[in-house]
Amino acid sequence: MSFSHFISPFKLTFFILHVTFITNAHTQNPKVSAVLVFGDSTSDPGNNNFILTPFKGNFPPYGRDFPNKKPTGRFTNGMLASDMIARYLGVKDNVPPYLDPSLTVHDLMTGVSFASAGSGFDPLTPTISNVIPLPRQLEYFREYKTRLVAKLGKTKTMEIVSNALYIVSAGTNDFVVNYFTLPIRRHKYTLPGYMDFVMNNEMDFIQGLWNEGARKIGVVGLPPMGCLPIVITLFSDDALFDRGCIDFYSSVGRAYNSMLQTRLNLMQVSHVQEGARITYLDAYSTLYDVIVAHKYGFKEVKRGCCGTGLLETTVLCNPKSATCPDASKYVFWDSIHPTETVYRIFFESTRSTIDYIVKG
């Protein structure tokens, strides 16, 4: 009887992919010096564990499928895409949180994440959950450089900084948690005006990274926000029975992503003589393919694995919450965040773009 008799083709495919990219990572020389990550819960491996905020994921069932079943603060059942990218590039197995006091010099040299779940480019967004704003994450990066200079010297530090891969992943909270849910920004900005406001803040942040020595930057776009279970629950006219994506909210993501690609291209062109590779990473298409186009055969695309999957996230998804038996069949782990399987699909879909950013 064949091995495939005991494992579905869907799982077998991802098992092969998983083994392949881990093997590649450990048999090639690293293409970059480090992986440095900024953003929100899509790239926070546990920085929020070390600050006073209710927005944490350092308890079960988060981390259920992480090595040793450890809840690290990642808002998913296993690894994040940034962990997979670091493994693929041969830098390290997982990207740790910068605020972890146990980090070694080697940990710092090979990359950390400054991201904070709940953050965003609008200065108001991180205040809602008392998390780390993007400008503060940039300050931490400056502090990071100072720490490396003290240990390694300025020349070695700048070599690491200039050859690192930078990942920026934020923006969803600005719209879902802030603009669409709370009245403050809607009273001040039209939707197009708010999109411009967030975009300008994002460009300022990326320029700030550039000014600090970043040269290889991947910027993740917005997902189809109308397909997030929490958005359907909060904004659908009949959320219990009609769990289809709400295209209005997804259309905002499409429009913003189009603007983002244009602005990144302009920034890339303006810095190309200085060795810039500033590139868009497409999260929208990945989520659209798995949710709307049903390309990957997920069993459940409309609710998360944790609890009812309709509204639970952070403390509402807790040790007392029931969870689905096999998270790999679900697009979402909780009502906002993808499962490790979806992060892996995103990683695979952006691998050629990552290769483009880091080459040369």
Q: Backbone phi, then psi, for 38, in 5-degree steps? A: -135, 150
Q: Which residues pair with 167 in a beta bridge?
A: 37, 218
pLDDT digits over 264-273, tens only?
A: 999 999 988 7
Asked whether the beta carbons of 38 and 121 are under 8 A apart, the reply is no
Task: Name the one residue in this structure whose structure tokens are 């070695």.
Answer: 156
pLDDT the model gives residue 238: 74
Q: Which residues pair with 97 in a beta bridge?
A: 113
Is 41 an active-site residue? yes
Domains, the chain, ordered by start: 3-358 (3.40.50.1110)
pLDDT the model gives residue 360: 56
pLDDT digits over 59-104, tens only?
A: 999 999 999 999 999 999 999 999 999 999 999 999 999 999 999 9
| Reported pTM | 0.91
> Of 33, 41, 169, 250, which one is the catalytic site residue?
41
Residues near 320 by Cβ (< 8 Å), separated by ≥ 6? none
Helix (H) or strand (E) holding 37: strand 35-39
Q: Residue length, the chain?
A: 360
> Of 83, 122, 174, 334, which one is the catalytic site residue?
334
pLDDT the model gives residue 6: 37
Per-residue three-class SS string for 99-152: CCCCCCHHHHHHCCECCCCCCCCCCHHHHHHCCCCHHHHHHHHHHHHHHHHHHH
Q: Which of 131, 127, 76, 152 is nearest to 327 (CA)?
A: 76
User: What is the secondary structure of 277-289 as a DSSP string?
Assistant: EEEEE-HHHHHHH
Is 337 an active-site residue? yes
Task: Using pLDDT thresholds of 50, 70 and 90, give the confidence band for residue 237.
Answer: confident
A 10 A CB-CB count for 170 gives 30
Mean pLDDT lowest for which of 30-34, 305-309, 332-336? 30-34
pLDDT the model gives residue 224: 98
pLDDT surpasses 90 at 25: no
Q: Report the DSSP pairing between strands 300-304 and 277-281.
A: unpaired
Q: Residue range 251-278: average pLDDT? A: 94
> Of 83, 122, 250, 337, which one is the catalytic site residue?
337
Q: Backbone phi, then psi, for 330, in 5-degree steps? A: -110, 140
Q: Residue range 201-208: average pLDDT? A: 98
Cis upstream peptide for 61 (omega within 30°): yes
pLDDT the model gives residue 50: 98
Task: Using pLDDT thresholds of 50, 70 and 90, give the confidence band for residue 27.
Answer: very low
Q: Report the DSSP pairing between strands 165-169 and 35-39.
A: parallel
Mean pLDDT lowest for which of 112-116, 267-271, 286-290? 267-271
Task: Using pLDDT thresholds of 50, 70 and 90, give the confidence band for residue 317.
Answer: very high
**29 burial class (0-12, 13-18, 19+ CB within 10 angstroms)?**
exposed
Query: Across the chain, what does the average pLDDT equal?
Result: 92
Q: Residue range 8-26: average pLDDT? A: 44
In three-state secondary structure terms, 301 is strand
Helix (H) or strand (E) holding 303: strand 300-304
Edge to edge, the sheet with strand 277-281 lists 35-39, 165-169, 216-220, 277-281
Mean pLDDT lowest for which of 76-80, 238-242, 281-285, 306-310? 238-242
Mean pLDDT lowest for which of 29-33, 233-237, 333-337? 29-33
Query: Alpha-carbon distance 252 to 247, whole Å?
Result: 9
Query: Alpha-carbon distance 65 to 76, whole Å?
Result: 9
pLDDT digits over 163-203, tens only?
A: 999 999 999 999 999 999 999 999 999 999 999 999 999 99
Query: Alpha-carbon distance 94 to 106, whole Å?
Result: 13
pLDDT surpasses 90 at 109: yes
pLDDT the model gives residue 84: 98
Residue 92 gets which letter from DSSP? Answer: -
Task: Using pLDDT thresholds of 50, 70 and 90, give the confidence band for residue 243.
Answer: confident
Query: Alpha-carbon distance 53 to 118, whole Å?
Result: 10
Is 106 an active-site residue? no
Q: Backbone phi, then psi, for 267, in 5-degree steps? A: -65, -40
% of residues, the chain, pLDDT over 70: 91
pLDDT the model gives residue 240: 67
